[in-house]
């Protein structure tokens, strides 16, 4: 099969690519070619794989190339993140809405020309949920909770969910949208996402660096790990249309935890000296965005696909440490645990 991962140079897209290449198959088909598109090139180990082709540049600028070939499957992960979309409205429109529409129209063109219907998995977000005076947000958002996003990023993700549902209804794609919970611990440096600190308060202390938490310790949010997220995306791809249960998006599983729970887990795994590197300093901009996010989530439809959240946050911290141990600079990455 021929597969494309948009956002394939990012940490989640690269992890998905590695997982699929290691498996060698997807939905029972042998992966013969994988196209990774992103603004930045993918990691060297992926480029070195003979099955991989890297395409660098904005997805919106690759429309002609997309129309020139067909794909059996697509994982659409590419997006501008939440903080970026709030700071630059036009960037969010281009990167999230315009690019998705261009991708869907390229896939539609192949079907109209008599080609096969591609299966597409879209990475939506828990950010589609939010409070509204007319529709209060429940303590736990569910698959059937009415979305009322309070950020441009969340609005754009929700619009894309509906576009994918409509293109699926028309037979142009076999589309499935999965709402990702906040993924932590993300490796590397902080990014422009408003949720970046959820990883920073674990990642930086483990590396011996002070981290600032911009919200209070009692803030609660649905979390998951990179590995569970990748497993969820693959499961959504491989499930039948009937088992998926409709065209509308489903929630991926989450562990509902407070900031204090996260820091307790950090201390359990790495000790009190590491936890002490987290300092609370409120940022009204970030706190205002987070206040409109869900405090927790459920995922009954994903559970019927066999997907489950982690048992506790300490397991997520340990997974990050294990991931770092496999990196060339593992000693530098986790040097803080030995101080």
Active site residues: 153
> What do you get for the CA distance between the two ends of the chain, in Å?
49
Q: Which of 44, 22, 40, 39 is nearest to 31 (CA)?
A: 22
Neighbours of 171 (CB within 10 A): 10
Rounded to an integer, what distance in angstroms lies between the CA atom of residue 283 and that of residue 190?
Answer: 16
- DSSP structure string for 167-235: HHHTTSEEEEEEEEPEE-PPPSS--S-TTHHHHHHHHHHHTT--EEE-S-TT-EEEEE-HHHHHHHHHH
**In contact, 223 and 182? CB cutoff 8 Å:** yes
Q: Provide the β-strand partners of residue 55.
A: 37
Cβ-based neighbours of 267, under 8 Å, separated by 6 or more: 274, 275
Assign 55 to helix, strand or coil. strand
| CA 325 to mean position of chain CA atoms | 23
Residues near 68 by beta carbon (within 8 Å), at least 6 away in sequence: none
Burial of 281 (0-12, 13-18, 19+ CB in 10 A): exposed
8 A C-beta contact, residue 151 and residue 82: yes
* Residue 207 neighbours by CB distance under 10 Å: 18
136-160 exposure pattern, b = at least 16 Cβ within 10 A, e = fewer:
ebbeebebebebbbbbbbbbbbbbb
Separation CA 23–CA 26 (nearest Å): 8
């Amino acid at each position: 099969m021929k597969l494309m991962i948009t956002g394939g140079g990012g940490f989640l897209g690269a992890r998905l690519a590695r997982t699929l290449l290691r498996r060698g198959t997807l939905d029972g088909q042998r992966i013969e070619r994988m196209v990774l598109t992103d603004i930045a090139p993918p990691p060297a180990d992926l480029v070195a794989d003979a099955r991989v082709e890297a395409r660098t540049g904005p997805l919106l600028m690759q429309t002609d190339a997309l129309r020139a070939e067909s794909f059996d499957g697509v994982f659409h992960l590419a997006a501008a993140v939440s903080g970026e979309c709030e700071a630059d409205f036009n960037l969010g429109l281009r990167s999230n809405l315009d690019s998705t529409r261009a991708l869907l129209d390229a896939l539609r063109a192949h079907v109209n020309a008599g080609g096969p219907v591609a299966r597409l998995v879209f990475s939506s977000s828990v950010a589609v949920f939010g409070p509204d005076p007319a529709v209060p947000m429940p303590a736990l958002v569910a698959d059937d909770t009415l979305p009322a996003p309070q950020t441009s990023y969340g609005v754009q993700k929700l619009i894309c969910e509906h576009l994918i549902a409509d293109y699926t209804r028309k037979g142009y794609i076999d589309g499935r949208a999965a709402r990702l919970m906040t993924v932590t611990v993300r490796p590397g440096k902080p990014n422009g996402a408003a949720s970046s600190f959820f990883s920073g308060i674990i990642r930086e202390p483990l590396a011996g660096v002070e981290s600032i938490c911009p919200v209070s310790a009692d803030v609660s949010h649905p979390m998951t790990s990179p590995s569970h997220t990748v497993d969820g995306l693959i499961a959504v791809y491989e499930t039948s249309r009937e088992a998926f249960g409709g065209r509308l998006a489903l929630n991926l599983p989450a562990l509902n935890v407070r900031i204090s729970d996260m820091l307790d887990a950090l201390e359990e795994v790495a000790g009190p000296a590491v936890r002490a590197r987290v300092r609370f300093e409120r940022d009204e901009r970030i706190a205002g965005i987070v206040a409109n996010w869900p405090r927790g989530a459920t995922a009954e439809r994903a559970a019927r696909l066999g997907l489950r959240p982690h048992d506790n946050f300490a397991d997520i911290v340990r997974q990050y440490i294990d991931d770092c141990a496999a990196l060339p600079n593992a000693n530098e990455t986790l040097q803080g645990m030995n101080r």
